[in-house]
């Protein structure tokens, strides 16, 4: 029985992997669902199971979020559907090739889905959430956004954007009652590896999707702004963030730092 009347979650990339598991978990919490992905067949199978097992209402929006027209339809649903109280930006794409080997079209595809679509969907729902003083936005980032050493330059750059966007929105929307969370998975067992063209024999040990999502939801319940499920020591993130914040007061200087002065 649905105990959260008029509350629903819109999940992008909902047909498999992280999105599908999030849909399962939120349905079991009593939320209705709006599933968004390209694969209607998979979404219909997931929707049928969740309706049967949990009794929640599940709507399906088949959409390619890199298509401007289809993206606009999802944006309009977020603007107009007051039942949607959580946006889960999960859809994303990667590639196994290096930046020098990627074509401009491949680079644009990654940016269009990982940044443009995510930002437009967030922009569509944020004003409504801010006006009502509630709602939540969950953005799936990645630890790759903190580690250029991993060599996934464009993918990592898009995920660094997602992290920064989340932190900025936390400062802007948090005081208005809107909760914004960035989830930074490490290697997770999803189809993104094969779709990106990785040799699965070369993929590092990966976390199971269920464990990743369940840990991320612990962070959600704690209202963490940044959740890194694979990080054993939370103080490492706190130290990292404290070091960043300690530099802020030194950024606004009217003269270049002495270390950049030419010797006379």
pLDDT of 201: 60
pLDDT of 162: 98
pLDDT score of 68 more than 70: yes
pLDDT of 66: 97
The answer to whether residue 208 sits within a structural domain is: yes
| Nearest-angstrom CA–CA distance, 65 and 114 | 10
The answer to whether residue 76 sits within a structural domain is: yes
Pairing of strands 58-62, 226-227: unpaired
Nearest by Cα to 18 from 156, 137, 227, 190 = 190
The answer to whether residue 251 sits within a structural domain is: no
Query: What is the CATH number for 25?
Result: 3.40.50.720
Q: Where does the pLDDT of residue 99 fall: very low under 50, low under 70, confident under 90, or very high at 90 and above?
A: confident
Active-site position among 22, 31, 155, 179: 155
| 18 CB-contact burial (10 Å; exposed 0-12 / middle 13-18 / buried 19+) | buried
Q: Where does the pLDDT of residue 114 fall: very low under 50, low under 70, confident under 90, or very high at 90 and above?
A: very high
pLDDT digits (tens, 9 = 90+) for 37-56: 999 999 999 999 999 999 99
Total number of domains constituting the chain: 1
The answer to whether residue 263 sits within a structural domain is: no
The answer to whether residue 1 sits within a structural domain is: no
Taking all residues of the chain, what is their mean pLDDT, rounded to a whole number? Answer: 92
Residues of the domain holding 85: 8-239
The two tokens of residue 120 are 């437009």
pLDDT score of 4 more than 60: no
Q: Where does the pLDDT of residue 2 fall: very low under 50, low under 70, confident under 90, or very high at 90 and above?
A: very low
Q: Determine whether 22 is an active site residue.
A: no
* Mean of pLDDT values over 198-207: 68
pLDDT of 217: 98
The answer to whether residue 52 sits within a structural domain is: yes
* Mean of pLDDT values over 156-172: 97
pLDDT of 196: 54
pLDDT digits (tens, 9 = 90+) for 116-150: 999 999 999 999 999 999 999 999 999 999 999 88
pLDDT of 263: 72
The answer to whether residue 264 sits within a structural domain is: no
The answer to whether residue 246 sits within a structural domain is: no
């Amino acid at each position: 029985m649905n105990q959260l009347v008029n509350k629903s979650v819109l999940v992008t990339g909902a047909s498999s992997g992280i999105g599908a598991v999030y849909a399962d978990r939120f349905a079991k919490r009593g939320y209705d669902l709006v599933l968004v992905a390209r694969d209607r067949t998979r979404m219909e199978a997931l929707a049928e199971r969740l309706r049967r097992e949990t009794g929640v209402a599940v709507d399906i929006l088949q959409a390619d979020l890199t298509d401007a027209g289809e993206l606009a339809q999802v944006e309009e649903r977020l603007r107009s559907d007051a039942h949607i109280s959580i946006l889960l930006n999960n859809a994303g794409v990667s590639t196994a090739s290096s930046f020098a080997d990627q074509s401009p079209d491949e680079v644009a595809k990654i940016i269009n889905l990982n940044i443009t679509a995510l930002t437009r969907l967030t922009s569509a729902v944020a004003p409504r959430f801010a006006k009502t003083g509630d709602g939540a936005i969950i953005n799936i980032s990645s630890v790759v956004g903190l580690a250029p050493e991993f060599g996934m330059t464009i993918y990592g750059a898009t995920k660094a954007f997602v992290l920064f966007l989340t932190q900025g929105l936390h400062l802007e929307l948090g005081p208005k009652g809107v909760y914004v969370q960035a989830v930074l998975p490490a290697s997770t067992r999803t189809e993104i590896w094969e779709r990106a063209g990785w040799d699965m024999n070369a993929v590092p040990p990966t976390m199971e999707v269920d464990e990743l999502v369940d840990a991320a939801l612990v962070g959600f319940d704690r209202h963490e702004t940044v959740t890194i499920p694979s990080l054993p020591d939370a103080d490492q993130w706190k130290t990292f963030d404290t070091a960043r914040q300690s530099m802020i007061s030194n950024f606004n200087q009217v003269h270049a730092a002495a270390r950049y002065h030419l010797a006379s």
